[in-house]
Structure 1
């Protein structure tokens, strides 16, 4: 007869649980602390008049020339920002095509407001727990369970629960670190701008996976995607606090980082084609 008391459960389980809670608390507190010094968001009319730029000519950028980056910007420069498909339509019509500051994926032709530091904090916090992100946790943990890959918790039912929890924490931490923290540190735009069906599949595929290495700064200029790479790297390092001992250490952390980069590239690829796929089976209405 097994007389082992409940207290004989491995101490590492308790320590791992505490690490999970501590890591999650730290991640939640960091962007919230950053937001304390952020000014309130400008009024919608201000965003429309000065901080909005076209997304249809450069799918990975709000526009070729950002009004705020021009030393000679005036009302004519602002009007020129609307020549790419929206012309001189009214503010009401422009607002119809305006993306929310907390939208992660920008559609072709959709107007994208310039992000404040507070917007980036919100973007990471909100998208980190979105349905889209949760789907990624389920898929990644399920795949890991099937092939018994990292994190190596085993293949029983309890192992899947541990994998799902670890995937959620890792996914959330990566998202917050990339969008809320590092995008502010490096002054980069963390959003993904979709190319859309006007380009062929090969071009869209290459574009989507390349966004893990290429992005644009707040000034609209192309730049290495420091915020994404740094966010994934720090997120991978944090897994040493809650992954099994076998999956800790430099080599295993490097593999975790590589998996994060592959996973992010796949999420961009999926987002590039997901809207079209849903529309093709009539699960989503096409945008005017």
Structure 2
């Protein structure tokens, strides 16, 4: 019996971004240079495949520094940490490496610059996300107010509407954020924007790639973790762009194949912390069931690279 025909539209760019690449490299180089165990505060990036691969090499993941023994080496995750965390590490004499994405660090610098000008800050982001916790922890308590959605703007109480600036999480929906910024600007005309867009190039590019394939898809599959903000946003972007079935899975084994009934064109992408091997596994799973044609749809080429800390380069 012949297999039914299926076209896979492969979004590009997809998967690992430069910040994720750098963070993983930092843990791997630390393991090579100092030997296991290397402790990592929080998941280095939000992907179980990546975390388990590093655990197999000798990385130990912890939630807080009090789980790290004295004299150990510790790495801070790509999402960034509050200032209290490196201060605590120094106090305990822990050797630490900071794998914060440079584009998240840029937001930290922006927050400090605006705060130094006596501005109150509005942060657009998702409560409890490690990046938001880290960014808000750069300044004294009360210096930043979090806004999650357009509706929050109307209820905002600020110390001085003339001394206000905003920053954003790097992994938000470009469209949602534009709506919140418009609401903030309408209510507070004097509000200062960041020097440069805070939403990172990788988030923007992956969302643009989904928008490019969405009109041609019966279904969209995003490979990414449930706690990966940029992956969850990709599902939302696909659904808004008109894909009837937009779903997120961590790996091919999670796909409910009954959802693929009647589907002839499937879009596939991956969040910025999902390795390409997971995309390949999903395509192979489709090949076992369908006569597959793969078409890659590329909206831009990414050539961004970030350097690892000098301490890791022999």
Same fold (TM over 0.5): no
Identify, as 1 or 2, the structure richer in helix.
Answer: 1
Q: What TM-score results when the alignment is normalised by the length of structure 1?
A: 0.29
Which structure's relative contact order is higher, taking Cα pairs within 8 Å and 6+ residues apart? 2
Identify, as 1 or 2, the structure richer in strand.
Answer: 2
